[in-house]
Structure 1
Amino acid sequence: MVITFLVLLAVLMLVGTPIFIALAGSVTVAMGSFSHIPLAIVAERLFAGLDKFPLMAIPFFILTGSLMSAGGLSQRIIRLANLLVGRFTGGMGMTAVSASMFFGAISGSSPATVVSVGSLLYPAMRKEGYSGQFSIGVLVSAGSLGIIIPPSVVMIVYAAVTGVSVGALFMAGVGAGLLYAACLLPYCWYRAKKDGVTPVEPPSWGEVLAGFKDASWGLGVPLVVLGGIYLGIFTPTEAAAVSVIYALLVSALIYREKSFAELFQSMIEAATTTAQVMIILAAASVLAWFLSSNGLAAMLANAILSLSENPYHIFLLINVTVLIAGMFLDASSIMVILAPLFYTVGMRVGIDPVHLGAVLTVNGAIGMFTPPFGLNLFVAGTINGVDYVQAVRGALPFIGIALFALILLTYIPAISMWLPNMVYGG
């Protein structure tokens, strides 16, 4: 049965079958052919995979990002980022990284960050003299910050399948995201020097303050969400619901750049995105149950531990496995399928589950722009003048930079753990 499942899963994915069909369909066929267990269990596991309270936060955070993007926040964030770092050599590339951090703190989505920031910055970077490959490369790589910087949908999924504190994970995401962004910035400076791009005139303090004032309402979203969680005012799910109300009020009553009909359309788009995420999570939970019920999860855990029980070696195996999986699966699916396995292994060798969550999230972020199936590479095709091949070529140098950041994060736990330890007392 297991061999049939693995072969069918590989075939379905190779022929381009949607991931949720490949995952749930291969389990269903294998069980129907070789097991006496009623197939109704598949439907039960589909619903059980979504019957987790932390997952309720996902549609709210997706809607918040959609409302703020439609309400005119993207332009304000990019203008503020450019005012802060545009004066430096490579400033436009640094603006892409900084803007992705700001927008990621609102949307929690990597593809949404690429589209929102890239559609505005890519033409501007080309006009400034940056090469097309570098311009799209920095956008698809920096866009992956959307799932690292809190609030992160991927971290919520990890919390749902492992029981780890969402608040602690969000704290760890701050250090991980800052490290990731810091590793990208020097390369932006180097490429601007190499391409002969000259920095722009620095803005006045008045312009910087005006930029902060213009973007302040939108930047209040992460303050409301994270502040409310860490002050104990509400849970992460309640924080997500509050963020929707805040985003709607800011978009409709303060920025007022879109009509109510256009804001309603952003709600429809958010619902579509939520459905896409949830159906993958449901199908992945079927696979996780299948692996567990057939003893494959325990067998894989024991196989890993038989190679070594050294945490450094285990982390190397985890990173290699997830990086390969990230070439074919999205980060949320990876969390549902692999996180329970690696959580078990990690606990047995003394790896902190919060640190593990941060490392897995960064792995998933790298997978978002790793060929052949990195989602950001395909999303980049929606930006005018960009195709898949150009996006892949542009992303290659940034994959190496991101791997360097991953190594630092993995083997220097203090980078991600200093904030959780400070707030939660270790």
Structure 2
Amino acid sequence: MIVLVLFISLIVLIAIGTPVAFALILSSLLAISLDGDIPNLVVLHSMVGGMNSFPLLSIPFFVLAGALMNSAGITQRIFDFANALVGWLRGGLGHVNVGASILFAGMSGAAVADAGGLGAIEVKAMRDKGYDAGFAVGVTAASSTIGPIIPPSLPLIIYAVMSSASIGQLFAAGMIPGLIMALALMLMVAWYAKKRNYPKDSGFSVLRCTTTFSRAFLSLMTPVLIIGGILFGLFTATEAAIAASAYALFLGALVYRTLTIKKLLALSIETIETTSIIMLIIGGAAIFSWVLTTQHITENFTQWMLAFTDSKVAILLLITLILFIVGCFMETIAAITILTPVLLPVAVSLGIDPVHFGVMMVLNLMIGLLTPPVGMVLYVLSRVTQVPFETCARATFPFLVPLLFVLLLVTFIPQLTLWLPSVLYP
């Protein structure tokens, strides 16, 4: 009875437009109210305990670092450098789009930040060169999903907290899948370019590469600072986030001189708002997870899955389908906090490494950002490019094919995610 009340009330609340954080809290409280033996203090303790985690301190600093990068003119420098590197290929700006997302992924850690920051620059540049709006928006939306796979990654940090997995190993595990995603998307761009006879946007120039690299050099040192510092044990993920924010502030205020006090204040308020939303979702999910645990839902679900089939392939496909469907309707962080306690025990019972499962889960949910009805990346691109949402959705649909192919590779070839962590963390 309590289980039915928990899930039905959650679905109803989300369906009527209740913010996810409040839907989690209200559905959990409604289920708890059916058991009169649970004191209110336990509920408050669960919520506070869920948010009282040291790694979560990295969230506001990575959010701030991404916002500072966007506002300091760094995105334009990255785009120019990527253009010099691959703009000479047929359909060059499509390849530039993907390449810029790889570079920006090492700074922001969020798909929406990539779409909102680089997206406006990329789509405008492509339309000015004669590319149709649909292709420009489609490749921009698809390439933005690389951001949370290549470290740093906010979704991977949330997953690490929920699963007690190593953030460093998760960051390392995302590198190769992220690069494979980029390669798959560039192959898709090449196919489109040949089919539609897109021109080469510019010739290759060593001088231009050198010039744009020198302009972007300090910006490109951000992922080196973050990833290198974590992998070589100089600091933790939380300390890396603080270092990234300090470095971005240094570049914007003292080097490029594009960051004013007024901008900094606006970015600080934006960071506080974003962090508050994320933390409230985590707090609500902590109560929700506590109810799942006390009602033995996770154990029962694991037993049901294993009783349904003992095929590892079938269960992995079923988990992939569940994640894909949830990703179409729910915000990424909420989905991670809700589903990790339910699905991870099933994965572990099959002998799947939690690090491998984390990358698989995040990649799956990133694809959900490109699908209606939620599709946060589509909404952001529609707003910043003035392209109708329906057009964005239709244009992005073909790019789901290479992304789903990479998802299957990551799901069924664990070494793609586990090889690099095994080398860096022997």
TM-score interval, normalised by the smaller of the two chains:
over 0.9
| Residue 355 (structure 2) pairs with residue 354 (structure 1) | yes
> Aligned-pair distance for 1:112?
0.8
1:217 is aligned to 218
Counterparts of 1:378-389 in structure 2, within 5 Å, are 378-389=379-390
Alpha-carbon distance between aligned partners in 2 of 1:239 and 1:201, rounded to the nearest angstrom: 37
Alpha-carbon distance between aligned partners in 2 of 1:129 and 1:70, rounded to the nearest angstrom: 27
The C-alpha deviation readout for 1:245-297, integer Å capped at 9, x for no partner, is 11111111111123232123222212221112221122122211111111111
Letter in 2 for 1:418: W
2:279 is aligned to 278
| Residue 251 (structure 2) pairs with residue 250 (structure 1) | yes
Asked if 2 retains the 8 angstrom alpha-carbon contact of 1:130 and 1:192, the reply is no
Letter in 2 for 1:52: S
Letter in 2 for 1:150: P
The C-alpha deviation readout for 1:26-78, integer Å capped at 9, x for no partner, is 11123224544234433332221111111111111111111111111110111
Letter in 1 for 2:227: L
1:45 is aligned to 46
> Aligned-pair distance for 1:340?
2.5
Alpha-carbon distance between aligned partners in 2 of 1:211 and 1:318, rounded to the nearest angstrom: 44
Letter in 1 for 2:126: M
1:79 is aligned to 80
Asked if 2 retains the 8 angstrom alpha-carbon contact of 1:129 and 1:197, the reply is no
Q: Residue 107 of structure 2: SS of its match in structure 1?
A: helix
> Aligned-pair distance for 1:311?
3.0
1:139 is aligned to 140
| Residue 199 (structure 2) pairs with residue 198 (structure 1) | yes
User: Can you give the 5+ residue segments of structure 1 that lack an aligned partner in the other structure?
Assistant: none
Alpha-carbon distance between aligned partners in 1 of 2:100 and 2:22, rounded to the nearest angstrom: 35
Alpha-carbon distance between aligned partners in 2 of 1:340 and 1:296, rounded to the nearest angstrom: 10
| Residue 304 (structure 2) pairs with residue 303 (structure 1) | yes
The TM-score normalised by the length of structure 2 is 0.96
1:320 is aligned to 321
1:376 is aligned to 377
Q: Residue 147 of structure 1: SS of its match in structure 2?
A: coil
Alpha-carbon distance between aligned partners in 1 of 2:392 and 2:42, rounded to the nearest angstrom: 41
Q: Residue 401 of structure 2: SS of its match in structure 1?
A: helix
The C-alpha deviation readout for 1:96-128, integer Å capped at 9, x for no partner, is 111112112101111110011111111221222
2:68 is aligned to 67
Alpha-carbon distance between aligned partners in 2 of 1:145 and 1:357, rounded to the nearest angstrom: 15
The C-alpha deviation readout for 1:292-330, integer Å capped at 9, x for no partner, is 111111111111121234432332122111111101112
The C-alpha deviation readout for 1:3-43, integer Å capped at 9, x for no partner, is 22222222111122211111111111232245442344333
Asked if 2 retains the 8 angstrom alpha-carbon contact of 1:359 and 1:406, the reply is yes
Alpha-carbon distance between aligned partners in 2 of 1:93 and 1:306, rounded to the nearest angstrom: 47
Q: Residue 38 of structure 2: SS of its match in structure 1?
A: coil
Letter in 2 for 1:272: E
Alpha-carbon distance between aligned partners in 2 of 1:97 and 1:234, rounded to the nearest angstrom: 30
> Aligned-pair distance for 1:244?
1.3
Alpha-carbon distance between aligned partners in 2 of 1:346 and 1:88, rounded to the nearest angstrom: 42
The C-alpha deviation readout for 1:223-262, integer Å capped at 9, x for no partner, is 1111111211111111111111111111111111232321
1:153 is aligned to 154
1:290 is aligned to 291
Counterparts of 1:264-275 in structure 2, within 5 Å, are 264-275=265-276
Asked if 1 retains the 8 angstrom alpha-carbon contact of 2:169 and 2:421, the reply is yes
> Aligned-pair distance for 1:188?
0.9
1:407 is aligned to 408
Asked if 2 retains the 8 angstrom alpha-carbon contact of 1:2 and 1:30, the reply is yes
Asked if 1 retains the 8 angstrom alpha-carbon contact of 2:298 and 2:345, the reply is no
Asked if 2 retains the 8 angstrom alpha-carbon contact of 1:70 and 1:263, the reply is no
Q: Residue 327 of structure 1: SS of its match in structure 2?
A: helix
Letter in 1 for 2:254: L
Asked if 1 retains the 8 angstrom alpha-carbon contact of 2:62 and 2:108, the reply is yes
2:123 is aligned to 122
> Aligned-pair distance for 1:183?
1.0
Alpha-carbon distance between aligned partners in 1 of 2:42 and 2:395, rounded to the nearest angstrom: 45
The TM-score normalised by the length of structure 1 is 0.96
User: Can you give the 5+ residue segments of structure 2 that lack an aligned partner in the other structure?
Assistant: none
Alpha-carbon distance between aligned partners in 1 of 2:125 and 2:322, rounded to the nearest angstrom: 37
Counterparts of 1:103-118 in structure 2, within 5 Å, are 103-118=104-119
The C-alpha deviation readout for 1:168-190, integer Å capped at 9, x for no partner, is 11001101101111111111112
Counterparts of 1:335-350 in structure 2, within 5 Å, are 335-350=336-351
Alpha-carbon distance between aligned partners in 2 of 1:285 and 1:365, rounded to the nearest angstrom: 22
Alpha-carbon distance between aligned partners in 1 of 2:299 and 2:92, rounded to the nearest angstrom: 49
Alpha-carbon distance between aligned partners in 1 of 2:310 and 2:168, rounded to the nearest angstrom: 29
Q: How many matched pairs? A: 425
Letter in 1 for 2:382: G
Asked if 1 retains the 8 angstrom alpha-carbon contact of 2:378 and 2:389, the reply is yes
Identity over aligned residues, as a percent? Answer: 36
Letter in 2 for 1:340: P
Asked if 2 retains the 8 angstrom alpha-carbon contact of 1:158 and 1:336, the reply is yes
> Aligned-pair distance for 1:375?
1.2
> Aligned-pair distance for 1:87?
0.7
Alpha-carbon distance between aligned partners in 2 of 1:134 and 1:384, rounded to the nearest angstrom: 13
